[in-house]
Amino acid sequence: MQGDGSQISCSGSSADSIALAPTTPNPAGSISRSHDRRPKTTAAPALPDYLVRHYWWAYLWRPAVWFFDHQPIIDCIVFGQYTALREQTLALLDGDQAGDTLLIASAYGDVVPGLARTVGPDHLTVIDVAPIQIERARNKLLKAELASGVNLALMDAECLSYGDDRFDSSVFFLLLHELPPPVRRRVVSEALRVTRPGGRLVLAEYGAETDRHPFHRWRPLRWLFGTAEPFLPTLWALDLDRLIVEQAAALGKRAIVDAHSTVFDGFYRINRYRIEAA
């Protein structure tokens, strides 16, 4: 099992790098008509250690998954801001411009059906490393009658099984704060690798730490956040734009923030980066 993110193997027959068997029919519907978005490899990925250790109670344990994946519950967890987060993410993504879109990690609530409506089911791929989360996403899409066309894949975001520049857009919805810093860096790099020049990366995330927001200032609350979300303090302290720009440069690309909005007085942010060839 890998530790809290210091090592990973992405190549060969590593179980980390894989998705649903491409030769089996996509349980959620058909494969993209524009081009084959199916991953190249076939074994199931191992669950990352940080997920098993720190987030089993939120994303892996079936009773909890059932409990949290109710709209009012997930809305409470983000202090009543879910609709704003979803709508501003979808607005920055812009369905007319989004093209083939990769959601990197599924999410609770109705953002997955929202994305399918926004970009068109045939243009959406959703990956997640946890089988139960792929199952939830599939069920929500089926209920919304949007499953046909959406590609769902079991895959580790650290080792995406897609070729370079495969997608027009990639999206993170509240994923990055849950990752240990080395994993966060690799996940960002993978997203940038599979996003083509001319495309965009959109992310919804906690905002940077301020000395102004009461939730940043009030120590008991900070302690609570840091206990429930052990990697959130590292995200608060991080210059996220810089990380993205640096990871893009390492891939011979440029990432330029071209749209930005905040929710809940900056406690959350939504950023859009235009990706270009360097």
Ligand X SMILES: C[S@@+](CC[C@H](N)C(=O)[O-])C[C@H]1O[C@@H](n2cnc3c(N)ncnc32)[C@H](O)[C@@H]1O
Q: Is 133 in the site for ligand X (CB under 6 A)?
A: yes
Stretch of 168-176, 208-216, 223-231, 267-275 lying at the interface with ligand X (CB under 6 A): 168-176
Among 18, 115, 126, 129, binds ligand X (CB under 6 A): 129
Pick from 155, 175, 11: nearest CA to 85: 175
Residue 14 tokens read as: 């590593």
Instruction: Encode burial over 90-100: b for 16+ CB neighbours within 10 A, e otherwise.
Output: bebbeeeebbb
- Residue 148 tokens read as 């046909």
Q: Which of 110, 122, 156, 190 binds ligand X (CB under 6 A)?
A: 156
Binding of ligand X at residue 158 (CB under 6 A)?
yes
Judging by beta carbons within 10 Å of its beta carbon (0-12, 13-18, 19+), is residue 19 exposed, middle or buried?
buried
Among 89, 108, 124, 162, binds ligand X (CB under 6 A): 108
Residues in 185-224 that interact with ligand X by CB under 6 A: none
Spatial separation of the C-alpha atoms in residues 216 and 267, rounded to whole Å = 8
Interface pick for ligand X out of 51, 150, 192, 275 (rule CB under 6 A) = 51
Residues near 145 by beta carbon (within 8 Å), at least 6 away in sequence: none
Rounded CA separation 166/272 (Å): 18
Give the binding range for ligand X (CB under 6 A) out of 25-33, 103-111, 118-126, 253-261: 103-111
CA dihedral 55, 194, 153, 178 (to 10 degrees): 10
Per CB under 6 A, 105 contacts ligand X: yes
Residues between 66 and 95 with contacts to ligand X, criterion CB under 6 A:
74
Select from 5-13, 23-31, 106-114, 265-273 the region that touches ligand X (CB under 6 A): 106-114
Which residue ranges make up the site for ligand X (CB under 6 A)? 48, 51, 59, 74, 105-109, 127-130, 133, 156-158, 173-175, 178
